[in-house]
């Protein structure tokens, strides 16, 4: 039995709590008595149904979804989150790294719907991306070069995750690098690299053309306000043999040497040149001579020594070993010019 609900305008099932008033409308939804449902038959009485043969059963195996035809590539619709974020990008400089990564990831997995090795589709996808979203265009080149290489790198990275499965494994076995027969016999895939001894390899020889190139490069570098001394030192080392041969054969003047190799005007480079010749480091040599000859020098030029020389020697006595060497060397260099009637600052200059 159902009763009309005047508020809803529909018949609802009547229950005990519902109150009927004068004018209420009711209807009988089921006049015939409900037939009781017979209880289920016992399992023992149920007829046994023979199982169908295995050959008649359709077995559906789960596999990869069919790929699209790469020859009919169509640029996908831009996801809503990218459309929203790209609407905030006014210039190429405003593109955030995370948004760029999201774009590359989206296109990468879309290309995988066609093939795991997109090939020419990289360029097509990058070109279509820039045509549809001009704010993403590169400032130089074709406008989509950076997107092209980003897609190639991303797809290669993703393929590496399943390189031992399916098409990737097949291509790796077919086109991948194979160890040589000798390496395979030794059980090593990099036998040549293991046997190589870089420390015994000779430095690459320099011909006349490369020597002249190094000289011009060093001359140009030394004309700068802040020359790159690492580059100059490399050039001086590469031209050392040619420089010694040139000096031995032509006996150039000091001015000619400095004109050709302006780096030799610096004291540090002169010290390095001495070391290239196989001699001891000049500073260590001067310190050793000063310690050995300071007493002799004092006897020769004691009357010509100034007050600062003796002050340094007094300070040296209160210093540690390294300090004594330094102060003794400074006193030696201050006193040495006196023996040849030179000014005290001939060998040392106050740079303070």
Q: What is the pLDDT of residues 224-275, one digit of tens each?
A: 888 888 898 889 988 988 888 888 888 888 889 999 999 888 878 887 887 8
Looking at the structure, tell me whether residues 288 and 243 fall in a common domain.
no
**Do 216 and 266 belong together in one domain?**
yes
Domains identified in the chain, total number = 4
Domain boundary, last residue among 277, 305, 326: 277
Max Cα-Cα span within the chain: 145
Please say whether the dihedral angle defined by the alpha carbons of residues 52, 55, 56 and 62, taken in this order, is positive or negative: positive
Domain span holding position 239: 211-277
pTM passes above 0.85: no
Q: Quick one: tokens of 135? A: 């704010």
Does residue 38 form part of some domain? Answer: no
Domain boundary among 277, 302, 322: 277
Residue 70 structure tokens? 């790469």
Contact present, 136 and 92 (Cβ < 8 Å): yes
pLDDT in tens, 97-145: 889 999 999 999 999 899 888 888 999 999 999 999 999 998 887 888 8
Question: CA-CA distance, 227 to 277, in Å (whole number)?
Answer: 24
Same domain, 151 and 84: yes
């Amino acid at each position: 039995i159902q009763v009309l609900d005047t508020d809803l305008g529909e018949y609802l099932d009547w229950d005990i709590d519902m109150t009927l008033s004068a004018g209420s409308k009711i209807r009988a939804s089921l006049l015939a008595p409900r037939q009781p449902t017979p209880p289920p038959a016992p399992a023992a009485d149920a007829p046994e149904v023979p199982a169908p043969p295995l050959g008649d059963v359709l077995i559906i195996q789960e596999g990869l979804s069919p790929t699209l035809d790469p020859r009919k590539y169509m640029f996908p619709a831009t996801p809503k989150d990218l459309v929203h974020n790209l609407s905030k990008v006014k210039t190429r400089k405003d593109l955030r790294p995370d948004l760029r990564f999201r774009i590359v990831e989206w296109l990468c997995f879309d290309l995988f719907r066609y093939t795991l090795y997109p090939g020419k589709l990289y360029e097509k996808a990058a070109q279509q991306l820039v045509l549809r979203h001009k704010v993403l265009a590169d400032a130089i080149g074709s406008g989509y070069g950076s997107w092209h290489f980003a897609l190639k790198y991303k797809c290669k990275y993703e393929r590496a995750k399943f390189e031992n499965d399916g098409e990737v494994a097949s291509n790796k076995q077919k086109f991948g690098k194979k160890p040589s027969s000798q390496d395979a016999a030794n059980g090593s895939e990099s036998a040549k690299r293991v046997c190589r001894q870089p420390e015994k390899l000779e430095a690459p020889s320099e011909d006349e053309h490369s020597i002249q190139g190094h000289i011009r490069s060093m001359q140009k570098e030394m004309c700068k306000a802040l020359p790159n001394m690492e580059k100059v030192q490399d050039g001086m080392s590469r031209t050392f043999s040619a420089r010694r041969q040139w000096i031995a054969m032509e006996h150039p003047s000091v001015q000619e040497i400095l004109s050709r190799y302006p780096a030799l005007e610096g004291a540090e480079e002169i010290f390095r040149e001495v070391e290239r010749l196989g001699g001891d480091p000049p500073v260590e040599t001067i310190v050793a001579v000063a310690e050995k000859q300071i007493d002799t020098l004092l006897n020769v030029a004691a009357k010509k020594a100034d007050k600062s020389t003796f002050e340094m020697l007094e300070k040296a006595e209160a210093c540690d070993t390294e300090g004594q060497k330094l102060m003794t060397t400074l006193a030696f260099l201050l006193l040495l010019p006196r023996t040849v009637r030179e000014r005290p600052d001939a060998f040392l200059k106050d740079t303070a």
